[in-house]
Structure 1
């Protein structure tokens, strides 16, 4: 089978017993960076020396068929440099290929920068969306953020320390200077820090420079004041565009604050 294994995002003490056992017995490891995996084996005191196969963004499409065939006869352990493979890291293409070929895929859960940041940010956690890395180019970044301006769920982003000040300024412009957010730096490491405030405040905080691995968590947009009849009209428009009635009611409910059940029933009544 294919085994996706989460590795520590900073603190080696977060390596699970299952991860260590898998490393001790693995014969084939597909790794985002084989040098990083070698350092992990040494740091965890694992003497096993499995066959290491590089699996990264630039070769995953070509390498996936080989790994799927290997997994028919033996377990193939898949590692990213930190956290869970496939989450802004290689692995999705391999999993898709394995599923299509009928090869079993399982996971050894563990550390996740996304969930750790979400947990400590102090923002709503009942519904959230992971947006991955913020675009590097200013124009693309500003456009991507504008498209998320009305997203009602808490949003989680990855970003580089060299760009975070510009990113926070663009977020303030797109989402509003008073939108609440948190910048989580060096999670699980010695110098872990969580800076909380408005986007305007955080942009000023980051202006002098920020170091380390970063995760940005931003509060979702507040529900817009939309009259109930107008909200029902929005539901019907989504239905006409091909959205299921239940899903349309839920989507409109998320950004208007009206009950999805009441929107569903009202739209159903209008449709007859």
Structure 2
């Protein structure tokens, strides 16, 4: 398995670690998507009944929902809480921070230019604290940093705030030194980037995602059947949009906005980014209407 394919199982903005291929619909991944898209605008809390209802629309049964919630609670992402005697779960502060970071990475995509500079992360963890070394590597991998050498990681310079925030969140900021500057090596940028990241595996994952969701976009571009009820269409849009975001959200973590000039020609990531933007415009408003029918209007 390549580095990028291994990283595809990394949690990205979800932290549940069950996302595999582009078509993954692991219940935990779907629940995190629901909280990210709709739970936060309802104060970060959702009742179990509401989660079960929304997950039923995604074809996931109640038992799988409850099992997945338990695991997310165990990982510290959800906290049990009753509101007006209704049992439910609230996002933990760490989960809120992770999802906020994901908003920027997933929906406000920044693609660097070669001249923008690079962030270099150099870390040193004593042998007696090797568990922290593993946590630090896992954190940097999740953020999509490339590897220059043992203990040395690299990313586009615009990732500095995200890297600092993540290291502070896991209590490891003191083990890493960060530098921002230009790359002045003898090799062209395309060669160095290809050495730091597994671009072939990354391209493959982008292509798989496009192959899956281009037909979804085409289906929604077709003329609507007058016999289709608006409510049913909104429910389908909800299912399609949650699937889209769940499958998409790890890809911007694998490709942390690498400069196009340093990537192979006709980089499939550009087509994928345009496609997810189109799907958001088409599906998100309908999906929101469906959620409002099921849960009631959001706060504010």
TM-score range, shorter chain: under 0.3
Structure having greater relative contact order (Cα 8 Å, sep ≥ 6):
2
Compute the TM-score of the two structures, normalised by the length of structure 1: 0.25
Larger Rg: 1
Structure (1 or 2) with the greater strand fraction: 1
